[in-house]
Amino acid sequence: MKPLNLFALLLFLWGVIWVLTLSERSVRKIQQAYYGTTAPFLKGGSALKLKAERFLDEVENSKDTENRLKSIEVEFVKLRSIEGRLRELERENNEFRAALDFKKRSSLNVIAARVIKRQPSTWWETAILDRGEESGIGLQIPIIAPGGLAGKIDTVSSDTSTMILLTDERCQVSVQVAGTPEVGILHGLRGHYGEEPRLLLRHLSREAAIRPGMKVVTTGKGGVFPENILVGTVKAYTPGTLEGSASVEPSVDFANLKVVFVIANKEEG
């Protein structure tokens, strides 16, 4: 090996050791700085994507109208176009109304946040939110969405934050099967991709009286998640030699996760 290459290799190894021995605090600071720097790109990209979707919708609407109503005057086409826009606004309005209604019904003090995008990660289930420290969001704060529990905050920068979705293996939640004394730890499944999201509920009794369709709610134990938040529905129970486990279908539609609610203060009722 040439001396220069050997020097490069040694320098590289020194760099690797330095990075691998970084403290958790330093890693968090690096991630905060990274998300702070990339936030304008992410927000800009997300806004551009929304505009493009709206534009494509408009184009599609215009084409349909042209094909069906070729003989109608240009003014009418304009009106249809406006109508298309209004429909989009109405849909968006309904979405926000549903979100507001959910917020009202929730007994928790929550901060509404928009999901900017899902992380382009291979193995981790995370998403970026458009609210950060400036909105009072901190680490490990639980997140709910229409339907129930959605995950928790992983990292926070000044105006964005990253959430771990409930479907990730690292997002563990203490839960109880409603109507039974059965409690266990629920988390996402590893190695299952391109299928409907499923959660695994472990540490149940060997032969628990659990039937498909039973609701699963948080216990509030451990101090991270508040109690009695719906998590999902039991799909199947598997008894084991030492303990039982259950497959749970999440109550939140993770494929269409657009607006979430970060629990600002768990104590406020």
Partner 1 sequence: MLWYHVSLVLLVIASTILQQFSPAFEGLHEARILVVPLVFLCAAVTVNVGPMLLLAFVCGFLWDTQHILSHHETNQKMLQVYVDSQADVRFGYSIILYAMMGFIMQGIQPLFREGKWHVSALLSGVAIFLYLFVEYMFITFIRGELILTRALFLKISFTSLLTMFLCPPVFWVLFRLADLFHHTIDYEGLKTDRRGFVD
> Which parts of this chain interact with partner 1 (CB under 8 A)?
2, 4-5, 7-9, 11-12, 15-16, 19-20, 22, 24, 27-28, 30-31, 34, 38, 41-42, 45, 49, 117-124, 126, 139-140, 154-155, 164, 168-170, 172, 174, 185, 187, 190-195, 202-203, 221-224
Burial class (CB in 10 A: 0-12, 13-18, 19+), 86: exposed
C-alpha 15: how far from chain center = 34
Of residues 245 and 251, the one with the C-beta less far from partner 1: 245
Q: Please give the span between the terminal C-alpha atoms of the chain, in angstroms, as a whole number.
A: 68
Of residues 65 and 126, the one with the C-beta less far from partner 1: 126
What is the Cα–Cα distance from 33 to 27, expressed in whole angstroms?
A: 10
C-alpha 215: how far from chain center = 21
Q: Kindly state the smallest distance separating residue 103's Cβ from partner 1, in Å.
A: 26
Q: Kindly state the smallest distance separating residue 71's Cβ from partner 1, in Å.
A: 40
DSSP state letters, 178-203: TTSS-EEEEEEPTT--SS---EEEEE
What is the Cα–Cα distance from 240 to 62, expressed in whole angstroms?
A: 59
- Bridge partners, residue 260, by sequence: 113
Of residues 67 and 122, the one with the C-beta less far from partner 1: 122
Of residues 7 and 76, the one with the C-beta less far from partner 1: 7
Of residues 181 and 194, the one with the C-beta less far from partner 1: 194
Of residues 10 and 59, the one with the C-beta less far from partner 1: 10
- Bridge partners, residue 163, by sequence: 127, 153
Of residues 4 and 242, the one with the C-beta less far from partner 1: 4
Closest by Cα among 187, 183, 220 to 204: 183
Q: Kindly state the smallest distance separating residue 226's Cβ from partner 1, in Å.
A: 14
Query: Residue 66: what are its φ and ψ, rounded to 5°?
Result: -60, -45
Q: Kindly state the smallest distance separating residue 176's Cβ from partner 1, in Å.
A: 12
What is the Cα–Cα distance from 87 to 84, expressed in whole angstroms?
A: 5
Q: Kindly state the smallest distance separating residue 194's Cβ from partner 1, in Å.
A: 3
Q: Kindly state the smallest distance separating residue 81's Cβ from partner 1, in Å.
A: 28
For residues 165 and 254, the answer to whether their CB atoms sit within 8 Å is yes
Closest by Cα among 227, 175, 223, 171 to 197: 171
Q: Kindly state the smallest distance separating residue 90's Cβ from partner 1, in Å.
A: 27
Please report how many Cα atoms fall inside a 13 Å half-sphere around the Cα of residue 140, on the Cβ side.
8
